[in-house]
Chain A
Amino acid sequence: KNQVEQSPQSLIILEGKNCTLQCNYTVSPFSNLRWYKQDTGRGPVSLTIMTFSENTKSNGRYTATLDADTKQSSLHITASQLSDSASYICVVSAQQAGTALIFGKGTTLSVSS
């Protein structure tokens, strides 16, 4: 069964600190993996996409990694800011026509001052 598991479920950090969010998946055949950020009361917005051949991709203070062998991805946030407080959702796409996106349940990050 195609599944996406994220950890931790929630995280609280101080402003300026770094953090890493984890995503494990069992989706096959794998097409790509996206990290979405969802602010409270809004729809998810894509941060970065990783394909099979990519190991690392950065988007500002966000760095995503992908290990296609172990089927794991991480999202590292550097020098966190209050505006980083949100839910971060790992979404995996299977390489099959007509297959929808498979969502993890997300990690809720709270950045406090």
Chain B
Amino acid sequence: DAGVIQSPRHEVTEMGQEVTLRCKPISGHNSLFWYRQTMMRGLELLIYFNNNVPIDDSGMPEDRFSAKMPNASFSTLKIQPSEPRDSAVYFCASRKTPEGTEAFFGQGTRLTVV
């Protein structure tokens, strides 16, 4: 298995532009997580899907952030409009329930908003 695949690996965009991050979870996994990692705050959960349904989106910073999971093999995280403070590494992870199974992480997308 190729693991969790994220694209792009790096994204540089200007403030105010729309940014879309993509994630393909491991086949057969039914839980998907989006995390943001910064030096100051570490890994923060943004949103969590179970069987394509958003379970907990309390970590989404504000209305500029939105996430979708139209099917079991694809998810997107969109930021519109982007701001410099959104600069971070965004990780997608997936796992197969039940609780306690290992979550496998993608390589991350490094976002820089200038």
Please give the residue numbers on chain A whose beta carbons come within 8 Å of chain B beta carbons, in ascending order.
31-32, 34, 41-46, 49, 51, 89, 93-101, 103-106
Contacts and interface: CB of A to CB of B under 8 A. Distances in A.
Nearest to B45: A100
Interface size range of chain B in the complex: 20 to 34
Contacts of A105: 41-43
B45 A101 contact: yes
Contact of A32 (B48, B56, B91, B100): B100
Contacts of A98: 48, 50, 55-56
Majority SS of interface residues in chain B? strand
Given A41-B108, A106-B42, 20 more contacts: A42-B107, A43-B91, A43-B93, A43-B107, A44-B43, A46-B103, A49-B102, A95-B99, A96-B99, A97-B99, A99-B99, A100-B45, A100-B48, A100-B56, A101-B45, A103-B35, A103-B43, A103-B45, A105-B43, A106-B43
Contacts of B41: 105
A68 B4 CA distance: 32
A101 B42 contact: no
Contacts of B100: 31-32, 49, 51, 93
B25 interface: no
Nearest to A45: B105
Interface of B: 4, 33, 35, 41-45, 48, 50, 55-56, 91, 93, 99-100, 102-103, 105-108
Contacts of B33: 100-101
Contacts, number: 57
A113 B97 CA distance: 42
A31 B42 contact: no
A103 B42 contact: yes
A58 B65 CA distance: 40
Nearest to B43: A103
B99 A31 contact: yes
A34 B101 CA distance: 10
A43 B106 contact: yes
